[in-house]
Amino acid sequence: MKNVSRFQAFLIVLFFSLPFCGFSQNSVVVHADKPGPKIDKAIYGHFAEHLGHCIYGGIYVGEKSDIPNIKGFRLDVVGALKDLKVPLVRWPGGCFADTYHWKDGIGPKSERPSIINVHWGGVTEDNSFGTHEFLDFCELIGCDAYVCLNVGSGSVQEAAQWIEYVTSSNESPMTKLRKQNGREKPWNVKYWAAGNETWGCGGSMRPEYYADLYNQYSSFMRAPGMYKIASGANGEDYRWTDVLMKQSASMMNGISVHYYTVPGTWENKRSATQFDEKEWFSTMEKTLKMEELVTKHSAIMDKYDPGKKVGLLVDEWGNWFDVEPGTNPGFLYQQNTLRDALVAGINLNIFNNHADRVRMSNIAQMINVLQSVILTKEKEMVLTPTYYVFKMYNVHQDATLLPLDLKCNKYTTESGSVDAINASASVKDGVVSITLCNLDPSKSQNVSFEIQGLKLAQVSGKIVTSGKMNAYNDFGKKEEVTIADYNAAKLSNGLVEATLPAKSVVLIQLK
Ligand code: AHR
């Protein structure tokens, strides 16, 4: 230190300590000069199960309802989902799928049998929403359909007949039946899965056993352009992915993985709306686990499929809290706050950044169940903070991923520390879109951006945030969380400087 003045020494110490004291500048380098893969729009998919009021009351109220509807589908919900540009919906479950016999849900409604929904509250399922209703609904909102076949309590024949009923344009007993039921033309259904959570509610199988069963089902799952999906791992069960890839990779187009963010324990998951910063932090930390899961499952898939033909599909994800007080515990109804908005933004950024392998994700679930984008109560409808994040992130659908280097501060609490910022970027039609989450509930973050490989002249932005961590939108009240214009990003000499408010999800667009 002999030749270094005290002032220089001070500057050196200051430089190295900045990242730890929260003053440092965060930086993002976006590589428009090294474009990545396409972000499949299916990453913005949804999941609708016969569970609680997701289907009945949420999507479907029946033609005789005094809630405004078209062919029984709620008009308000249809409009909101069209605005959201929902790319696909997974149906009929979930655990329900492995109890579902599709022939119960076709033909005149008065003749359809009622069954017991054994997984979800033991309530009566009258089968008034079946194959025709689901596929008509998808046509109405303009999305692809993803059907989960019954492996747990069904048969290969039942599955093959369902596929033929839906997709075939040839003469057969199944297509004759479809026509008798009022549908002349086949539907165009690309995505079909053989079972759900076959390690759990779908049959409690070992991966070796399920892989054999999957190969059997797959052999009889036939339709032009079909995308075949194997039931995948529970969270970090990497052995499941390994066995399935070893035994069945050549017979599948995709394999799923399920992971839920639970801030507490499965016995005491904690409230959706009443939480402190400790639970906020735990939610952020647990949701960031998705990065590790996707990375590790992808690495296993790379061993067997280096060409990345098989997609990793996160076909159930989201926050799972305790049900709202006074509601049926089997219906999984929970409110949705700004915390959910952050969780949605973080997960979607993770999926975007892994678009080379992650080809689909389905938030659980679309309406009135778990981390929903829409809540309904009789005639009323609420769009949740999660809805607005999906809406803001739509710009990434089918865009080209732009890799980024992110250097950022930490968000530190007495429980631990995580990166304060989470981000992804894409380009479409000459517009660069960067989505960023500031996980810190009390500190804003200054960020400088450099976009390599593009000359930019204009910047604009949108934001989802609120004054309170647990702000939410409620029936009959003014919205507390929605999309607002964001003007805190400035462009000069090709560089962008922006301030991300505490607990916010931000979209910055440049062209
Ligand atoms: O989304 C609720 C349930 O969670 C699904 O039915 C099941 O697949 C998962 O365990």
Domains 19-36+402-510 and 41-398 share a fold: no
Fold assignment, 19-36+402-510: Immunoglobulin-like (2.60.40)
Indicate the Cα dihedral angle 91, 146, 37, 428, nearest 10°.
-80
Q: Is the pLDDT reported for residue 349 higher than 60?
A: yes
Strand partners, 484: 463
Q: Please choose, from the candidates 218, 223, 191, the residue with its C-alpha nearest in 3D space to the C-alpha of residue 40.
A: 191
Asked if 120 and 96 count as a contact pair (C-beta separation under 8 A), the reply is yes
480 flagged as catalytic:
no
Rounded-to-integer distance, Cα 434 and Cα 496, Å? 12
Query: In whole numbers, what is the pLDDT of the chain averaged over residues?
Result: 95
Catalytic residue, candidates 133, 164, 197, 279? 197
Instruction: Give the burial string for 471-504 (b: 16+ CB within 10 Å, else e).
Output: bbbeeeeebbbbbeebebbebeeeebebebbbbb
Two structure tokens written together for 323: 């049900």
Q: Is the pLDDT reported for residue 511 higher than 90?
A: yes
63 flagged as catalytic:
no
Q: Is the pLDDT reported for residue 11 higher than 90?
A: no
Distance from residue 284's CA to the centre of ligand 1 (Å): 21
Find the helix packing angle between 75-84 and 385-393, rounded to 10°. Answer: 40
pLDDT tens digits for range 254-263: 999 999 999 9
pLDDT tens digits for range 87-126: 999 999 999 999 999 999 999 999 999 999 999 999 999 9
Query: For ligand 1, what atom is nearest to the CA of residue 95?
Result: 6
Q: Is the pLDDT reported for residue 6 higher than 90?
A: no
Give the model's pLDDT for residue 305: 98
Two structure tokens written together for 79: 């409009």
Give the model's pLDDT for residue 18: 42
Q: Please choose, from the candidates 367, 361, 368, 366, the residue with its C-alpha nearest in 3D space to the C-alpha of residue 347.
A: 361
| Alpha-carbon dihedral sign for residues 265, 267, 272, 277 | negative
pLDDT tens digits for range 125-166: 999 999 999 999 999 999 999 999 999 999 999 999 999 999
Give the model's pLDDT for residue 20: 40
Q: Name which of 16-20, 164-168, 453-457 the model is least confident about.
A: 16-20
| Rounded mean pLDDT, 16-37 | 74
Residue type for 293, please? L
pLDDT tens digits for range 192-239: 999 999 999 999 999 999 999 999 999 999 999 999 999 999 999 999
Distance from residue 364's CA to the centre of ligand 1 (Å): 8
- For residue 462, the tally of other CB atoms under 10 A from its CB is 18
pLDDT over 90 percentage in the chain: 94
The answer, yes or no, to whether any atom of ligand 1 lies below 6 A from the CB of 196, is yes
Distance from residue 171's CA to the centre of ligand 1 (Å): 37
pLDDT over 70 percentage in the chain: 95
- Does domain 41-398 fall under CATH 3.20.20.80? My reply is yes
Q: Is the pLDDT reported for residue 4 higher than 80?
A: no
pLDDT tens digits for range 248-287: 999 999 999 999 999 999 999 999 999 999 999 999 999 9
Domain locations in the chain as residue ranges: 19-36+402-510, 41-398
Give the model's pLDDT for residue 137: 98
- Rounded to the nearest 5 degrees, what angle is found at the Cα of 86, between the Cα atoms of 80 and 92? 100
pTM above 0.85, yes or no: yes
Give the model's pLDDT for residue 508: 98
Indicate the Cα dihedral angle 472, 474, 480, 481, nearest 10°.
60
Rounded-to-integer distance, Cα 293 and Cα 358, Å? 11
